[in-house]
Amino acid sequence: MNTRNAYKIRASRSSGRNRTAPVSMAQGNKVGNIPALDNDLSSGYIAPVCDSMPERNCRHPLTNMRQNAHLARCEESITNRFYSITSVLKHLGNIQHNENFVALANDITSKELDFNFPLQSLESAWINGLDMKLLYSKSIFNAINSSVNQFSEDLGRNEDSKVDTHSFFLDCGYHSVDITPCSDGRLKGLSKYIFRLPLSAITIRNSYAGALLNVESNVRDWEKIELSRLRNPSSGSSASRYLKIVVYHRSSSDPLHQGCAAHGSNDKLAAEAGLEKLTEFHSAIDNTYSCGSQIDLLLIGVDTDNDSIRIHIPDSNGELSIHRFVDTADLYNETLNLNSDQARVALFNSIDKSSDMSGWGKGEGKPSEGMRKVISNLLEYNLSQIEYVADLYGGSYPDLGHAEQFISVGDGFQEIQLRNIAYYAHLDTVEEGSADLDIGIKIFSGLNIKKGLPIPIAIHYRYDSKVPGSRARVVQKSKRVMAAILNRYKELAVGNNLFFQLSVQDLPLGSDLEIIDKEEL
């Protein structure tokens, strides 16, 4: 999903189409290949779209152009770190027998990868050749660390949006937002890109293969949040509720092959499984604490071809149906030629229209006012992402399937939010997360092993510095998880096809990334 030359590609896709230049990201200053915005928003380009989208001579009225430009620059800076690795290593392989190889290699990696390999791995190249599996894994891990550090440095810039979003959820009646998406790498940019929500606005985000959440673990997360609220009443009124969201995914262009692997690329099964897990979670809390009325549920499907979303609308009792939903792909087309006020009214009305449907999706009335506000805002934010994909990729991603760069194990890197960067396996123990891990290993057997590349696995957990001994215990846990993975996939380990980086991080978002070095191992 490299954004290099993306604007040249999309220009070629739009050739032969007659339309006037829309109001858009300006063509003036550039960062890499991504146009930056200036004060003249009318100096735009002709934006191509895929054949399935309507001809247009204007921007969608609700597109956040500045945010799109910023996200495009973020995407390019992160993807370039990963996608330049293979070409750099090929270059090093071609010159590894040069007399001044070490100096040349350091110069190349410093410029292209922004780091240098350990000297011993370069100095012995003339004898045994370069250990490409080792260098490849080190490059991937360096790209991860640099991306996390970049996020931490930029964290303070969006402080206002974090406060505003938290206040918005509180205004809608929700003190906490808990999201469980599928662990598929195509949903890795869910918060930052698809939903356009600041990471700090989401209280909990844990991914599972097929979005098949662990009910007991999720109940414990809920218990922790509610206990904290009892000790800190200012975090929300006593009448505020807990919002639990499950996100499944599908592929509109190739539903039989590029849907969710955990459900056999069956969209209906993926939606039904997500709804079943939401129901189990709600019932567990209601049966144990008799407070199910304080929890609202939401089911959302993502079309990973174009990042449009399908929000399943709760009825007045909070009940969901896989047949009752609003789809932003349809709304984009329907509201394209409206002004911004008309478009927002249309989004809100689409919720009411869905609530009034008959047949299989018939429900008992409309959702609460707070829920309707949350849904309408998610719909609006996602329209910008649809246009983002239209601008950079002509309406649909070129990599419809898996193209992840590493397996993320543990708590995951909240800071790296980008499509197809990582396959995420949330787990506390390998035994509990074996299904997620097995799917990840299967994916990377096709992506990497068949090409002679190893599987980089980044084991990452967060600790609480307020709790004595927390960091040391988390380090030990990371080591146990690595040992268990090596034991489970012995054949890959013996073939030198598994490489690990272990790291920890304090709980607050943007905390320093701490690599567990050899001394701690």
What is the tens place of the pLDDT at every residue in 38-65? 333 333 333 334 444 545 446 899 999 9
Quote the percentage of the chain above a pLDDT of 70. Answer: 85
CA distances from 146 to 190, 192, 480 (A): 21, 18, 26
Q: Is there a single domain that holds both residue 289 and residue 177?
A: yes
Residue finishing a domain among 371, 393, 415? 393
Task: Give the residue from 393, 422, 449 where a domain finishes.
Answer: 393
pLDDT of residue 428: 78
Phi, psi of 400 (to 5 degrees): -70, -25
Q: What DSSP string runs through 284-295? A: HHHHHHS-GGGE
Stretch among 19-33, 45-59, 131-145, 158-172 having the lowest mean pLDDT? 19-33
Which among 432, 428, 384, 391 has a CA at the least distance from the CA of 409?
428
186 & 238 share domain:
yes
Residue-number span of the structural domain to which 466 is assigned: 401-515
How far apart CA 332 and CA 62 sit, in angstroms, is 10
pLDDT at position 368, please?
A: 95
Could you give the 3-state DSSP secondary structure of residue 218? helix
Binning pLDDT at 50, 70 and 90, where does residue 499 land?
Answer: very high
Q: What is the CATH number of the domain that holds 217?
A: 3.40.1050
Q: Residue for token digits 């991306």? A: 147
Q: Is residue 107 part of a domain?
A: no
- List the catalytic residue out of 184, 391, 411, 436: 184
Count of CB atoms situated within 10 Å of the CB of 342: 12
Assess whether 175 and 243 both reside in one domain. yes
pLDDT band at residue 12 using 50, 70 and 90 as cut-offs: very low
Question: 80 and 401 in contact (C-beta within 8 Å)?
Answer: no
Helix (H) or strand (E) holding 248: strand 241-250
Indicate whether 110 belongs to any domain: no
Task: Say how far apart CA 156 and CA 95 lie, in whole Å.
Answer: 43
- Cα 270–chain centre separation: 18
- Together in a domain, 351 and 307: yes
Residue 237, domain member (yes or no): yes
In Å, how far are 48, 204, 480 from 59, measured between CA atoms? 11, 34, 52
- 360 and 475 together in one domain: no
* DSSP element (H, E) containing 470: helix 470-488
Residues 386 and 405 in one domain: no
Whether 164 is a known active-site residue: answer: no
Q: How far apart are CA 475 and CA 449, in angstroms?
A: 29
The 10s digit of each residue's pLDDT in 410-445 is 988 887 889 999 998 887 778 777 888 999 999 999
In whole angstroms, what is the distance from residue 43 CA to residue 60 CA? 16
Q: What is the mean pLDDT of residues 504-508?
A: 92
Q: Residue 320: inside a domain, yes or no?
A: yes
| Residue 23 placed within a domain | no
Q: Give residue 476's pLDDT band: very low, low, confident or very high (50, 70, 90).
A: very high
Q: Do 282 and 214 lie in a common domain?
A: yes
- Domain total of the chain: 2
169 contacts 201 by C-beta, under 8 angstroms: yes
Q: Are 397 and 418 in contact (CB under 8 A)?
A: no
Domain membership of residue 425 (yes or no) is yes
Instruction: Kindly state whether residues 372 and 428 are assigned to the same domain.
Output: no
pLDDT mean over 451-465: 96
Q: How does DSSP assign 325-394, residue by residue?
A: EEEHHHHHHHHTTS-HHHHHHHHHHHHHHHHT--GGG--SSPPPHHHHHHHHHHHHHHHHHHHHHHHHHT
Distance CA 207, CA 110 (A): 35
User: How far apart are the C-alpha atoms of 38 and 28, rounded to whole Å?
Assistant: 7
Measured distance CA(80)–CA(472) in Å, rounded: 34
| pLDDT single digits (tens) 251-286 | 999 999 999 989 999 999 999 999 999 999 999 999
Whether residues 368 and 487 fall in one domain: no
Output the six-digit token pair for 235: 């975090």
Q: Are residues 365 and 427 in the same domain?
A: no
The first and second tokens of residue 206, run together, are: 């844990």
User: Length of the chain, please?
Assistant: 521
Within a domain: residue 344? yes
Instruction: Tell me if 413 sits within 8 A of 398, measured CB to CB.
Output: no
Final residue before a domain boundary, out of 393, 425, 458 = 393
Same domain as 405, residue 357: no
pLDDT of residue 322: 97
- The two tokens of residue 432 are 């509990």
Distance CA 416, CA 422 (A): 9
Terminal Cα-to-Cα distance of the chain (whole angstroms): 35
Q: What per-residue confidence (pLDDT) applies to 104?
A: 94
> 211 and 167 in one domain?
yes
Return the ∠ at Cα 131 (arms to 128 and 134), rounded to 5°. 155
Query: Residue 162: what pLDDT?
Result: 55
Per-residue pLDDT averaged across 131-153, rounded? 91
pTM (2 d.p.): 0.85
Tens digits of residue pLDDT in 295-334: 999 999 999 999 999 999 999 999 999 999 999 999 999 9
C-alpha–C-alpha distance, residues 270 and 249, integer Å: 7
CA distance to 208, 409, 490, per residue, from 429 (Å): 13, 10, 17
**DSSP characters over 137-168:** HHHHHHHHHHHHHHHHHHGGGGHHHHHHHHHH
Q: What is the CATH number of the domain that holds 409?
A: 3.30.1330.140
Residue 272: in which H helix or E strand, if any? helix 267-289
Q: 3-state DSSP call for residue 217?
A: helix
Residue 436 lies in a domain: yes
Share the mean pLDDT of the chain: 85
